[in-house]
Structure 1
Amino acid sequence: MNILKELTKIFIRSKLEDEKRKLKEKLQKQIITTTSTSVVARNTAYLRIIDTLDGKGIAEVNKIIDKI
């Protein structure tokens, strides 16, 4: 059972990292291509949030998996 949980954690962590990377690329592309200062500010804030919450988000997912 523990092996299954560990494999699930690895899979979910991998998927979260992939989604995080895709979102960051999208936000950075918008920052580069826009002339709107509000879009730049918003996307910069989103990028900071993504980086800050990453570890906590994975920890929360792991807690949920452990309860299964």
Structure 2
Amino acid sequence: MTEYWYNLETGVVEEGMVSPGYDRAGPFATREEAARAPEIIKERSRKWAAEEAAEDDWGSKPADQR
């Protein structure tokens, strides 16, 4: 199975592990998905930040009850 990687330094989609690991995002199943890597990374980051914020607020009182 072919895997695709997005090179964070050059913005180029690569087939296989061509670049050093610190320059790659992936793997992705398709070339098209790898090309969307910056967008996917932003979406995942927003989701993780929202999850962490919800966890940080767990058990705290609402602002009007503090």
- Regarding TM over 0.5, the answer is no
Which structure has the highest helix share of the two?
A: 1
Compare CA radii of gyration and give the structure with the larger one. Answer: 2
Which range, TM-score by smaller chain? Answer: 0.3 to 0.5
TM-score under structure 1 normalisation? 0.38
The higher relative CO (CA closer than 8 Å, separation ≥ 6) is in 1
Which structure has the highest strand share of the two?
A: 2
TM-score under structure 2 normalisation? 0.39
